[in-house]
Amino acid sequence: MKHLFVLVFLFLAVALNASEKEKHPHIIFIITDQQRADALGCMGNAAVISPNIDKLSDLGVTFVNAYSSVPSCTPARAGLLTGLSPWHHGMLGYGRVARKYKYEMPRMLREAGYYTFGIGKMHWFPQKALHGFHGTLVDESGRVEQDGFVSDYRDWFKLQAPGKDPDKTGIGWNEHSAGVYQLDEKLHPTYWTGQTAVEIIENYKKDKPLFLKVSFARPHSPYDPPQRFLDLYEDVQIPVPYLGDWDEQYEGLEGGKEAAFGDFGIDHAIESRRHYYASITFIDEMVGKIIQTLKEKGIYENTLICFTSDHGDMLGDHYHWRKTYAYEGSSNIPFIVKWPESLEGKLAPGSRLEQVTELRDFLPTFLDAAGADISEDMDGLSILELIKDPQTAWRDYIDLEHATTYSEENYWCALTDGTWKYIWFFRTGKEQLFNLKTDPGEQNDMSSTNLEVTETWRQKMVDHLSERGDGFVKGGKLVQRSETLLYSPNYPNDERTPNELINDWRIEYKGVIEN
């Protein structure tokens, strides 16, 4: 009888374990703001201290050719939300995320049986829009884009530090200078975002899988780490900005503290980068706390964890600052996926794949993990297919673009397969071609020296833009444009008046943006 009891117990234990594995995994989606792909130790940058994110890379897969198709905050987040390409979700540059889309990540996961919650920066409009989340606690970096809005972080700050100034450091959202956070580090938005995520995981008791989006507002400027993290970089050799054979027009260019283009000297760029890296180390520490909480909760093994960013930061490369550019510092992003134990595949942990991925791929990946259908007209692809079989068919290249920002010339579309990058500037008709394998800093423009490859990619661009009509391609040739198109015809109708839409375009065109 004793042996029979043991056998029954073992059978039940195996059955319960199998049942647990059959459950759809929890999904923890961690996204930073304005973090370039090479700003991680696991991406080969020995200067960056990021042990917890590096560990995710060691246990999962890192996509080294990952991109943000429209590399500024709101259009990047529209692609992330919808799983669509820029032309199909409708935002071709920095504008306003629509109130409702055909596909929306939180709503679709909620419909698939998940409890959905978002923390941190959403950058949606209205600013407390849910798009299907059961709830959000937001940090909008002090932005007030509707009457009466106060972010959850700002209200929490008032509770913790009545009368104190959350912006005491005195550096604006888009400044490229740096400074040390002037308050207790536990008042910093990075701490608030990470700690709030920890508390939700600790308190989670629902009998359904959790989808948790954790959206840090850093390392986007202000570059303002607490002193403790900056001290770690005191003796670190910081990489200097890339300069090339095509950027001399910007050399010696002066500008203000929010300049998009400017030559402020190597020392200035290094200090900005030092503070930027320290901000990432702060985020990394909070990521570690989130992972430890998942383990203590007993759900780590059955959790899909993804880490990415909405776009990068040029940090002085080619005398460019901030984002909205086709270049790697602006458009190449981190893309790390640690899969749950229940997912069986051929990919070994710690793998690095070169297939080109983009923010649009996260929604179909999450739907795949949830056992939900992925619509055929969704542009994104499920990463889980590559984990199951890294030889599975994949896209040949990805499209990038941005409507006019900062200067009239900065209106472009690009294509890349992770080896070649071809850039077409709509207004000037200028082309650039870079070999990213031999020239990762895009220092040598090959468009006039490798004519055969340039022509091949020019034809790919013709094919890509043809669906947009004669304003982009005519007679099989690329068309120079005199006007910017910020919203494609696929942008969902919302409640804005024509004058409001025009005003949004004017803000973008002049480059007077706070993203």
Question: How much is the pLDDT for 16?
Answer: 40
Length of the chain: 515
Distances in Å between the Cα of 57 and the Cα atoms of 7, 60, 230, 389 are 39, 5, 24, 18
Question: How much is the pLDDT for 113?
Answer: 97
CA distance 98 to 101: 7
- Among 228, 221, 148, smallest CA distance to 189 is for 221
Q: Give tens-digit pLDDT for 335-384.
A: 999 999 999 899 999 999 999 999 999 999 999 999 999 999 999 999 99
Burial profile 474-492: b = 16 or more Cβ within 10 angstroms, e = fewer: eeeebbebeebbbbbeebe
Average pLDDT over residues 307-317: 98
Q: Give tens-digit pLDDT for 38-57.
A: 999 999 999 999 999 999 99
Supply 42's token pair. 């696991």
Strand, coil or helix: what is 313? coil
Q: Give tens-digit pLDDT for 223-250.
A: 999 999 999 999 999 999 999 999 999 9
Residue 21 in this model has a pLDDT that exceeds 60? no
Question: How much is the pLDDT for 494?
Answer: 61
Q: Give tens-digit pLDDT for 391-441.
A: 999 999 999 999 999 999 999 999 999 999 999 999 999 999 999 999 999
Distances in Å between the Cα of 40 and the Cα atoms of 35, 224, 280, 307, 349 are 9, 18, 8, 11, 18
Q: Give tens-digit pLDDT for 184-208.
A: 999 999 999 999 999 999 999 999 9
Residue 511 in this model has a pLDDT that exceeds 70? no
CA distance 250 to 263: 7
Catalytic residue among 42, 73, 306, 413: 73
Strand, coil or helix: what is 228? helix
Q: What are phi and psi of 508, to 5 degrees?
A: -65, -45
Sheet holding 420-425, edge to edge: 398-402, 412-416, 420-425, 431-435
Question: Which uninterrupted H or E stretch holds 401?
Answer: strand 398-402
Mean pLDDT, the chain, rounded, equals 92
Ramachandran class of 53: left when φ > 0, alpha when ψ lies in -120 to 50, beta otherwise = alpha
Out of 27-31, 81-85, 258-262, 450-454, pick the least confident: 258-262
pTM above 0.95, yes or no: no
Average pLDDT over residues 210-230: 97
CA distance 236 to 252: 27
- Among 403, 402, 438, 404, smallest CA distance to 418 is for 438
Type of residue at 435: N
Supply 419's token pair. 């080896």
Q: Is 123 a catalytic residue?
A: yes
CA distance 191 to 58: 25
Type of residue at 120: G
Check: CB of residue 145 under 8 Å from CB of residue 97: no
Query: Measured on CA atoms in the order 411, 462, 73, 225, is the torsion positive or negative?
Result: negative
Residue 11: band (very low, low, confident or very high) from pLDDT cuts 50, 70, 90: very low
Distances in Å between the Cα of 206 and the Cα atoms of 210, 211, 291 are 8, 12, 19
Burial profile 361-384: b = 16 or more Cβ within 10 angstroms, e = fewer: bbbbbbbbbbebebeeebbbbbbb
Check: CB of residue 401 under 8 Å from CB of residue 362: no
CA distance 451 to 279: 42
Quickly tell me which residue has 């989670």 as its tokens: 204
- Among 390, 454, 503, 480, smallest CA distance to 63 is for 390
Q: Is 306 a catalytic residue?
A: no
Question: How much is the pLDDT for 442?
Answer: 98
